[in-house]
Amino acid sequence: MEEVVIIGGGPAGLTAAWELDKLGRQDAQVFEKDGIVGGIARTDVYKDYRFDIGGHRFFTKVTIVEDIWNEILGDELLTRPRLSRIFYKSTFFDYPLKPLNALGGLGLVESARVGFSFLYAQVFPIRDERTFDQWVTNRFGRRLFEIFFETYTEKVWGIPCSEIGADWAAQRIKNLDLVQAVKAAVFGQRAKNKGEVITTLIEQFQYPRLGPGQMWESCRDQLAEKGIPTHMDTEVVRLERDGTHIVAAIVHDAAGERRVPGGHFISSMPIRQLVGAMDPPAPPEVQAAAASLKYRDFLTVVLIVKDPELFPDNWIYIHSPEVRLGRIQNFKNWSPEMVPDPSTSALGLEYFVNVGDDLWSMDDADLVALGTKECDLLGLVDGSKVIDGCVVRMPKAYPVYDQDYQTTLDVLRGWLDPIDNLQLIGRNGQHRYNNQDHSMLTAVYAARNIAAQGRYDLWSVNVEEEYHEEVRGSEAAGATGDRMLPQRVEEPAAVAILRRAYARYDTVALGAAVSVVGALALFVLTAVPVARGVVVEGMILSSLAAYLPGYSVSWAGAVFGAAAGALGGFAFGWVLATAINAFVRWHGMALLRRLEHLAALDPDHGASP
């Protein structure tokens, strides 16, 4: 058997080794360049305080992945209550957003501004809806966009909302329907279809007792017991290549460089570094493509606070524009055992940055001071109670999908895919914004490919489903999900535009709608004076009898009027829709005749291949 070389000891790399072991392949070895496993899902330790790089809830739609979590940790996987809120102008708002809670928190004046802004957007929507800010404004109004969407989105991605495509907004925010939310608030959440149960993940989640790193430390240790080593502080610096076949990895550790031959290679290292490690080097255009991949980086400022209970949230989104802080994790609320001294709390202040920018380059002590000052300014923490702190920087935390991302990735895959014994897995391995579970699924499939347990396309993981806070019971087994990133704006298809422009009215539906309104109007108009006892001879309403024989201002007349209003309304609506449809159809045909005429005049018409 040919040995398997796994590059990276994050969730993907370690899962690949785990799955290979289950398939009877104990000939794998993992190389991790850091001194800690777990990648971005690691748990760091500072003076016995444990903290994550971001928060990592464990939930998945993928049964295979859930099984692996349980195999590795068993009872150590806790079920934790969830509370996460948005903090804006000294007020907490529920997250996910709830309209009534949001309006209540904003106060009367701001709510009125939000209301008028919403009405304005409904009457004067932005016609050519192409960007994130336009999409949100059209649905929620400009003011709500500014409060709940603009600041945080720009903090996270470092891109103006006016440069982010509307598709991303549609995917990320589509479940936030104001009308549905109000209905849910009033009537409660119900299953949408018979047999379909909506399992909400909003209330609780699973989490390892000692943080996500415990999962991967345990995985590494169990693998070691089975003879599958994870080499720590060992970086893969070169990959020896013979045409489209990798023959060995050159690794570098404290003892220097050594050569590790292998038959199969699984890489979760960033594609940019992978291509750079090829020996002989990749063609210049491939190297240029790899160098153009972009990442968003991340740093966490950990504050240890002499206060046993700061706030009940697991994490808080900071929308306040006056601070650069993006999100705060309260690790004690993730698991009490993350904090060794119960009289203290540990916070993780998250800043979304780029390597080399001012925050990234700032001294640790200055970052701790900045974090303390911002928390104090927000009123979330008394700065004088901060007794210690540290900083963790995480480069390449998020792959960025810029305008050229897809083209670049196509170039890279065009060169990498033909390499017959190399498989790319994980978030940075594929330059895809995978969640932990999707990264693990790519690893499972890679292992099965090696063990000849099928032929899986690793790039198909993640493309067909959406990432969401909730999962429908009927989809819970085996589905995959995708967390999208800001993407370029796409031109709508001509047919889609014409479908919208020349859509016909449903005659029966418009008839029914006007029928309901007619019935309601006539019933109320008649019933109110009867109920109030103000019916008098010769009132104008009674003249309706001239049009509706048998009608009178009485209870019977109210019922009769409702029936007549329903019938008359239906007829009116039906005729109206039919007339509009006839006109629109005539206009559409005239337009087509005109286009055909213009095409006939075009000298190039029909000449193109």
Interface contacts to other proteins, rule CB under 8 A: 119, 122-123, 179, 495, 498-500, 502-506, 508-510, 512-514, 516-517, 520-521, 524-525, 528-529, 532, 534, 539-540, 585, 588, 592
Contact between residue 561 and residue 521 where contact means Cβ atoms under 8 Å apart: no
CB of 568 to other proteins, least distance (A): 15
CB of 541 to other proteins, least distance (A): 9
Asked if residue 299 lies in contact with residue 359, where contact means CB atoms within 8 angstroms, the answer is yes
The nearer residue to other proteins, 486 or 518, going by C-beta atoms, is 518
Nearer to other proteins, 47 or 499 (CB): 499
Q: Output the six-digit token pair for 594.
A: 């005109």
Q: Copy the structure tokens of residue 281.
A: 């080097």
Closer of 295 and 505 to other proteins (Cβ): 505
Token code pair at residue 34: 């850091």
Least distance (Å) from other proteins to the CB of residue 187? 15
Answer yes or no: are the C-beta atoms of 339 and 332 closer than 8 Å.
Answer: yes
Burial letters for 365-398: b for 16+ Cβ neighbours within 10 Å, e otherwise? eebbbbbbebbeebebbeeebbeebbbbbbbbbb
Name which of 477 and 508 has its Cβ closer to other proteins.
Answer: 508
Rg (alpha carbons) of the chain, rounded to whole number: 31
Shortest Å, Cβ 477 to other proteins: 26
- Here the contacts of 159-164 (C-beta below 8 Å, separation 24 or greater) are 159/486, 161/131, 161/132, 161/133, 161/136, 162/131, 162/132, 162/133, 163/131, 163/486, 164/131, 164/132, 164/133, 164/486
- What is the rounded CA–CA span in Å between residue 130 and residue 163? 9
Q: 172-178: list long-range contacts, CB under 8 Å, 24+ apart.
A: 172/484, 173/135, 173/136, 173/139, 173/149, 175/96, 175/468, 175/469, 175/470, 176/96, 176/97, 178/99, 178/139, 178/140
Residue closer to other proteins (CB basis): 39 or 561 = 561
Among candidate residues 71, 29, 67, 26, the one with its CA nearest the CA of residue 451: 26
- The smaller minimum CB distance to other proteins, of residues 352 and 574, is found at 574
Please report how close the Cβ of residue 138 comes to other proteins at its closest, in angstroms: 10
Structure tokens at 602: 């075009």
Query: Whose Cβ is closer to other proteins: residue 12's or residue 562's?
Result: 562
Q: Give the integer Cα–Cα distance in Å for 125 and 138.
A: 5
Q: Which residues contact 302 (CB under 8 A, 6 or more apart)?
A: 46, 49, 51, 346, 347, 348, 349, 389, 390, 391, 392
CB of 116 to other proteins, least distance (A): 11
Residue with tokens 């019971």: 473
Cβ distance to other proteins smaller for residue 232 or 530: 530
- Among residues 140 and 352, whose Cβ is nearest to other proteins? 140
For the bound state, the minimum distance from the C-beta of residue 511 to other proteins, rounded and expressed in Å, comes to: 9
To the nearest whole angstrom, how small is the minimum distance from the Cβ of residue 93 to other proteins?
A: 23
